[in-house]
């Protein structure tokens, strides 16, 4: 993709979602880390419903280790994938206490070593909690990037991330990440994208393809 086309995309989604932000409710880096870990293959809305009670009951890493795994599983059951996530939360808390003084580490390399924390989660934490420019590629960012032609259909999430970092100025990485998510979540949706009212339709092959009668 050419830089001028990318600039058009950036300016357009900035106009559509000027206040895009992290929608996972949290009040500190530790809560954000737990919320993002829980958000895998689950909507933010459901995560927020569960963490509303969860974060009242569990304040510190020690609190998650003080209950049997079965109790934590029940507390996050509605999220889905709850056995893996409960186990990862307890392992993560143990590692925070043993290796990081009970605090969430501020660097990417330490974050990805935490159980249940991969590239996407680590990028969300360093950008939202610690102000480090990053572009976390989740399902929305991947889908939107491929539909708009920023990335190719068979690119890996890492390749998508590299292309975005190359095309977007560093000081716009984090806000662009949030705008791409809002664009994907509320407009360029997976199941029923709003192509008829899309201001980017002219430069979107996928959109024009979808607008044709055959589909």
Partner DNA sequence: CTCCCGATAT
Partner DNA sequence: ATATCAGGAG
The catalytic residues are 120, 138
Q: Does residue 83 bind DNA (CB under 7 A)?
A: yes
Instruction: Say if residue 93 carries a ligand binding annotation.
Output: no
Q: Smallest gap, in angstroms, from Cβ of residue 199 to DNA? A: 20
Q: Which of 8, 106, 115, 132 binds DNA (CB under 7 A)?
A: 115
Q: Does residue 82 bind DNA (CB under 7 A)?
A: yes
C-alpha angle 137-141-144 in degrees, rounded to nearest 5:
150
Q: What is the per-residue binding string for DNA in 134-173, x denoting contact by CB under 7 A?
A: --x-xxx--x------------------------------
Which DSSP state fits 137? Answer: -
Sign of torsion over alpha carbons 179, 180, 185, 189: positive
Helix residue spans in the chain (DSSP H): 3-16, 29-38, 44-57, 61-65, 69-75, 82-99, 108-112, 119-128, 139-147, 157-167, 173-186, 205-211
Three-state SS for 107?
coil
Instruction: Say if residue 188 carries a ligand binding annotation.
Output: yes
Cβ(128)–Cβ(121) below 8 Å: no
Which residue, 185, 165, 187, is CA-closest to 176?
Answer: 165
Instruction: Say if residue 198 carries a ligand binding annotation.
Output: yes
Q: Which of 61, 116, 193, 207 binds DNA (CB under 7 A)?
A: 116
Q: Does residue 8 bind DNA (CB under 7 A)?
A: no
Give 154 or 202: the residue with its C-beta nearer to DNA: 154
Q: Which of 122, 134, 160, 167 binds DNA (CB under 7 A)?
A: 122
Cβ(133)–Cβ(173) below 8 Å: yes
Cβ(94)–Cβ(64) below 8 Å: no
Q: Which of 8, 12, 46, 110 binds DNA (CB under 7 A)?
A: 46
Q: Which of 185, 193, 198, 207 binds DNA (CB under 7 A)?
A: 185
Token pair listed for 145: 């990037």
Residues flagged as binding site: 188, 195, 198, 204
Q: Give the footprint of DNA on this chain (CB under 7 A).
A: 21-24, 36-37, 39-46, 49, 77-85, 88, 114-122, 124, 128, 136, 138-140, 143, 177-178, 181, 184-185, 189-192
Residues flagged as binding site for [4Fe-4S] cluster: 188, 195, 198, 204
């Amino acid at each position: 993709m050419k830089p001028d086309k990318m600039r058009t995309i950036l300016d357009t989604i900035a106009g559509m979602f000027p206040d895009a932000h992290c929608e996972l409710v949290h009040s500190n880096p530790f809560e954000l880390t737990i919320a993002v870990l829980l958000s895998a293959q689950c909507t933010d809305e459901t995560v927020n419903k569960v963490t509303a009670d969860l974060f009242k009951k569990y304040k510190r890493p020690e609190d998650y280790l003080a209950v049997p795994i079965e109790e934590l599983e029940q507390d996050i059951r509605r999220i889905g994938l709850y056995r893996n996530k409960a186990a990862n939360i307890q392992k993560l808390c143990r590692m925070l206490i043993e290796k990081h003084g009970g605090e969430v580490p501020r660097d990417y390399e330490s974050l990805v070593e935490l159980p249940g924390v991969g590239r996407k989660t680590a990028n969300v934490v360093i950008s939202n909690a610690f102000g480090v420019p990053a572009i976390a590629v989740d399902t929305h960012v991947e889908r939107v990037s491929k539909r708009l032609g920023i990335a190719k259909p068979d690119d890996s999430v890492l390749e998508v991330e590299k292309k975005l970092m190359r095309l977007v100025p560093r000081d716009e990485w984090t806000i662009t990440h949030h705008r791409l998510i809002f664009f994907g979540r509320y407009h360029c949706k997976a199941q029923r994208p709003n192509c008829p009212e899309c201001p980017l339709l002219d430069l979107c092959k996928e959109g024009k393809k979808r607008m044709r009668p055959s589909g």
